[in-house]
Amino acid sequence: MSIKANKNLITITTKNTSYQMKIDELGYLLHTWYGERIEDNEDMSYRISNMDRGFCGNPYETMDRSYSLDVLPQEYSTFGNGDYRADCIQVINPDGTNVVDLKYDSHKISKGKYELKGLPAFFWEKEEGESLKVNLIDKVSGIRVELLYGVLEKYDIITRSVRIVNTSDNVLKIKKALSACIDMLDGDFELVHFHGKHAMEREFERSPLAHGKLVLESKRGTSSHQQNPFVILAKKDTTEIYGECIGFALVYSGSFIIETEIDQVNQTRLVAGLHPEQFSYVLKAGDELVLPEAVFTYSNGGFEKITHSFHDAVRNNLQRGEFVHKHRPILINNWEATYFDFDADKIFDIALKAKSLGIEMLVMDDGWFGERYDDTKGLGDWYVNEKKLGSSLKELAKRINAIDMKLGIWFEPEMINEDTKLYREHPDFMIRVPNRKGTKGREQFVLDFTRKDVRDYIRDMMVKILDNANIEYIKWDMNRSLSAVYSSNLAAESMGEFHYRYVLGLYDLLNELTQKYPSIMFEGCSGGGGRYDLGMLYYHPQIWLSDDTDAIERLKIQYGSSFAYPIGSAGAHVSASPNHQTTRKTPFETRATVAMGGTFGYELDLNKVSKTEQKMVKAQVKDYLKYDELIHEGDYYRLTSPYDKSRVTAWQLLSKDKSLGLLSVVVQSVEANESNIYIYPRGLDENAYYKIAEEKRRGKVWMSGGLVLPRIKEEYESFRFEIKRV
Ligand code: DGJ
């Protein structure tokens, strides 16, 4: 049993960790522990010491002036009861007041996992994990807050969500509703977070927390390139393999907020969920509101342990569909090979060459539909442009299948250009505030996915295409942020629901299509990694990691993304040199080494590379197929960081049984009169013998003595060493 209630204590236990809450004498639900595993009857509230502090209010029912919610650690902080720190919920009552005062009402422990209607969430069988529901009630407003917890014991994973129910006869307006609060009694944390921009996502940054707030957010309607809904709270001395830290993520793909704060007495709070600036929700009598899931894990073994727990849980208990644990075809995508300038023959030529080198699927990217000759028009007209292609899609699929290749195509279902049949016939499908022109992004606008009729219309067009040609892969792109939003379907007082309903609408369509076409492999994309989050990974086995295909820049992008997201979920391609985004020249083999740090593919015209490089493709494909399972199911180790002074970035994959590994090293900078570079593998069986680079040594020796990197022959050179137990 991983959840135990013992008098007024509720303790959640995983393999290595414990999480504890306590219903105190006033009925408030305090958070008393998250950390190393303890026994479930060990009351960790002894660590809380109250004192009479000035300007820290006390609940009316107590005479104890040392009791204040302003400093007590809580499971779900609220506004209006004397806690002035970051709150999780704000409600406007019918009389205009905004107090929420939540007291414990009841709880229930059950086997299996709770479900969140319409939202992506972790899942597991009854025997695999347990769930807890704690009901909190504000008797005056009639708000019931159901705190939901899920426990995946073997991976040290805890999930949380919240269901808010209006049990009153009044209409309530929810102004802020977050998914989780984590209160820690000490303030010795730093925040590791992942910021970025288009074509440079998830840059690692480690910032001290301060008295006051450090807020990470997206108001773009997507989880965004700029901030990612995954963070790590880390003790100051925590490193990759040492020390305490908590990894925290939202299973959500829209606007979000993560607020962190050190309070007046040096305690740390983190709250996270839907971005409140873009949210308000009218909750009628009897209605309920379900909030996105949050997931977290505690590690006393540095960041690496967080990564292993997240990777295992995501690929086994979040990602769905037949492709998660199955070989994903090595693809070639025509985007950087042709951009919009292609027809069916050109696509076929690319496919033909790729096939001769071992590649398994051709993906025809943007430009095959409507009047899509460039990026100013066509989005929303999902009809095959046979004039441009010089062929029907069915014919093209037949030609490609005839050479034993699969065909995939690109869609951007959420978008519309004004220069389209769709806009001319259904201008109201587009999000546009009345009397305002709005903001363009790449000349395009967003469709009102809060509306079912709009989603159905787009679905019907897509279905027609998918039912008429043998399409085995879809790249689902999304190339702008939402700005001013409006829906003719929402009353003025409900317009604050738009952003949330948009994401629910998107999930609804994704759900429908992935269920209808289980054998089509979906790859997510939002201008690369603008929506690289756990919500999207529920629907897509993989996501195109970034529009930056420069192998050296990708080292950082892949490094940052690897903290939470399984590396097999990262679409990674070998592209041309000089690189189209940075103009950097890199060796062909290095581009492959880096792309094998993800789900491997190509994105260039292989008819245009040298014969030697074509031969290299054959060998790379063979190599990738050899390590395919390792890359998708193995444990990932960040051996060095691309941000360190070290001249190389190195990472390692190791199979679960520790018998096979792949150690990859990329030289980032060269120097004269160079000193030795040692790479220290990790995770090997200490007493087993391993062969690396033709040398046989004991696991322990490799791990402590390291591998001496051969002399570097050129800038940006790379190495791939097999690790084989012998
Ligand atoms: C952005 C994607 O990230 C690219 O790979 C490509 O599909 C373009 N969109 C096409 O417009």
Locate the ligand 1 atom nearest the alpha carbon of residue 546 and give its number. Answer: 3
For 170-180, letters b (16+ CB in 10 Å) and e give eebbbbbbbbb
Q: Among 414, 518, 415, 524, which Cα is nearest to 474's?
A: 524
Give CA–CA dist 206/86, Å, rounded: 21
Half-sphere exposure of 294 (CA within 13 A, CB side): 29
Ligand 1, atom 11: closest residue by C-alpha? 366
Give me 512's structure tokens: 């429908």
Mean pLDDT of 33-54: 96
- Output the CA 717–ligand 1 centroid distance in Å: 28
Query: From the CA of 572, how far away is ligand 1's center (Å)?
Result: 13
CA 2/CA 237 separation, integer angstroms: 30
Site to probe by mutation for ligand 1, drawn from 525, 554, 580 as the one with most ligand atoms within 8 Å of Cβ, is: 525
pLDDT digits (tens, 9 = 90+) for 60-108: 999 999 999 999 999 999 999 999 999 999 999 999 999 999 999 999 9
Residues 285-296, mean pLDDT to the nearest whole number: 98
**Mean pLDDT confidence for 498-524:** 98
pLDDT in tens, 461-471: 999 999 999 99
How distant is the alpha carbon of residue 493 from its chain centre? Answer: 31
Nearest to 167 by CA among 283, 83, 81: 283
Give the mean pLDDT of 497-520.
Answer: 98
The protein residue whose alpha carbon is closest to atom 9 in ligand 1 is: 527
- Residue 610 CB burial class (10 angstroms; 0-12, 13-18, ≥19): exposed
Q: What is the pLDDT of residues 627-661, one digit of tens each?
A: 999 999 999 999 999 999 889 999 999 999 999 99
**Residue 602: pLDDT over 80:** yes
Kindly report the three-state secondary structure assignment for every residue of 296-337. Answer: EEEECEHHHHHHHHHHHHHHHHCCCCCCCCCCCCCEEECHHH
- Is the Cα torsion angle 344, 350, 351, 353 positive or negative in sign? positive
Residue-wise pLDDT tens digits, 107-146: 999 999 999 999 999 999 999 999 999 999 999 999 999 9
pLDDT tier at 472, thresholds 50, 70, 90: very high
Of the residues 613, 628, 633, 635, only one is catalytic, namely 613
Residue from 89, 84, 93 nearest 102 by CA: 89
Q: Which two tokens stand for residue 674?
A: 């160079």
What pLDDT sits at residue 340?
98
618: amino acid identity, one letter: K
CB 374 within 8 A of CB 417: no
| Distance (Å, whole) CA 223 – CA 478 | 12
CA 281 to chain centre: 25
Q: How large is the average pLDDT for residues 188-208?
A: 97
CA 461, 467, 469, 470 dihedral sign is: positive
Other Cβ atoms within 10 Å of 127 Cβ, number: 8
Q: In this model, does residue 604 exceed pLDDT 90?
A: yes
| 8 Å CB contact between 277 and 219 | yes
Ligand 1 mean position, distance from CA 654 (Å): 32
Ligand 1 geometric centre to CA of 527 (Å): 6
pLDDT at position 78, please? 96
Which of 340, 366, 550, 602 maximizes ligand 1 atoms within 8 Å of its Cβ, making it the mutation to test the pocket? 366
Percentage of the residues of the chain whose pLDDT score is greater than 90: 99
Dihedral sign computed on CA atoms, order 670, 676, 680, 681: positive
533 part of the active site: yes
DSSP assignments along 393-408, one per residue: HHHHHHHHHHTT-EEE
**Average pLDDT value over all residues in the chain:** 97
pLDDT of 187 > 90? The answer is: no
Report pLDDT for 186. Answer: 87
Mean pLDDT throughout 201-225? 97
Instruction: Tell whether the model's pLDDT for residue 677 goes beyond 90.
Output: yes
What percent of the chain clears pLDDT 70, i.e. is strictly above it? 100
Please identify which residue in the block is written with the tokens 């309903």.
501
Under DSSP, is residue 547 helix (H, G, I), strand (E, B) or coil? Answer: coil
Whole-angstrom distance between the N-terminal and C-terminal Cα of the chain? 40
Mark whether 467 is an active-site residue.
no
Ligand 1 centre distance from Cα of residue 385 (Å): 18
Closest of 550, 480, 496 to residue 92, by C-alpha = 496
DSSP states of 575-631 as a string?
Answer: E-SS-TTT-----HHHHHHHHTTSEEEEES-GGGS-HHHHHHHHHHHHHHHHHHHHH
| Contact (Cβ atoms closer than 8 angstroms) between residue 114 and residue 120 | no
* Closest atom of ligand 1 to CA, residue 528: 3
CA 230, chain centre distance (Å)? 7
pLDDT at 552: 98
**CA distances (Å), 372 to each of 92, 339, 340, 426, in order?**
47, 11, 8, 18
Q: What is the mean pLDDT of residues 559-576?
A: 98
Angle at alpha carbon of residue 10, lines to 315 and 287, rounded to 5°: 70
Residues 166, 287 contacting (CB under 8 angstroms)? yes
**Which residues 6+ apart lie within 8 Å of 520 measured at CB?**
466, 471, 472, 473, 474, 514
Residues 6 or more apart whose Cβ sits within 8 Å of residue 439: 483, 484
Residue nearest to atom 2 of ligand 1 (CA): 527
Structure-derived torsion over alpha carbons of residues 606, 610, 611, 615, reported in degrees to the nearest 10? -60
Residue pLDDT, tens place only, 7-42: 999 999 999 999 999 999 999 999 999 999 999 899
Nearest to 319 by CA among 542, 133, 616, 492: 542
Count CB-CB contacts under 10 A for residue 212.
10
138 C-alpha to center of ligand 1: Å? 48
Residue 116's closest CA among 282, 355, 288? 288
For residue 568, the SS3 value is helix
- Taking only the tens place, the pLDDT of each residue in 518-539 is 999 999 999 999 999 999 999 9
Instruction: Answer for the pair 342, 396: CB distance below 8 angstroms, yes or no.
Output: no
Quote the ligand 1 centre to 534 CA distance (angstroms). 21
**From 190, 312, 533, 589, active-site residue:** 533
* Cα 182 to Cα 88, 268, 278, distances in angstroms: 11, 8, 23
Q: Which residues contact 321 (CB under 8 A, 6 or more apart)?
A: 514, 518, 522, 541
Phi, psi of 572 (to 5 degrees): -140, 125
Tokens of 66: 């040392």
Residues with CB under 6 A from ligand 1: 335, 365-366, 410, 477, 479, 525, 527-528, 544, 547
Q: Over range 338-348, report the average pLDDT.
A: 98
Q: Look at strands 599-603 and 635-638 and give their pairing.
A: unpaired
Within 10 A of 295 (CB to CB), how many other CB atoms are there? 29
What is the pLDDT, as a whole number, of residue 1? 74
Q: How much distance in Å is there from the Cα of 32 to the middle of ligand 1?
A: 47
- What separation in Å is there between the alpha carbon of 701 and the centre of ligand 1? 46
Atom of ligand 1 nearest to the CA of 410: 7
Q: What is the DSSP string of 24-64?
A: -TTS-EEEEEEEE---TT--GGGG------TT----TT---
Q: Which two tokens stand for residue 135?
A: 């009901």
**pLDDT for res 525:** 98
Residue 628: predicted pLDDT? 98
Per-residue pLDDT band for 590 (boundaries 50, 70, 90) equals very high
pLDDT at 151 over 90: yes
Q: What is the CA radius of gyration of the chain?
A: 26
Distance CA 635, CA 642 (A): 19
Q: How far apart are CA 273 and CA 176, in angstroms?
A: 9
> What is the SS3 assignment for 695-708?
EEEEHHHHHHHCEE
Distance 477 CA to ligand 1 centre (A): 7
Full-model pTM: 0.98
How are beta strands 445-446 and 415-416 bridged, if at all? Answer: antiparallel
What is the pLDDT confidence band of residue 280, given thresholds at 50, 70 and 90? very high
Whose CA is closest to 255, among 217, 294, 295? 217
For the residues 163-181, what does the mean pLDDT come to? 98
Which of 410, 414, 481, 575 to mutate for ligand 1's pocket (most ligand atoms within 8 Å of CB)? Answer: 410
Q: How sure is the predictor about 316, in pLDDT bands with cuts at 50, 70 and 90?
A: very high
pLDDT surpasses 90 at 577 = yes
Mutate to test the pocket of ligand 1, among 197, 365, 414, 473 (most ligand atoms within 8 A of CB): 365
Q: Contact 319/38 with Cβ under 8 angstroms? A: no
Q: What is the 3-state secondary structure (H, E, C) of 58-88?
A: CCCCCCCCCCCCCCCCECCCECCCCCCCCCC
Other CB atoms within 10 Å distance of the CB of residue 580: 17
Which of 369, 348, 364, 470 lies closest to 416, judged by CA? 369
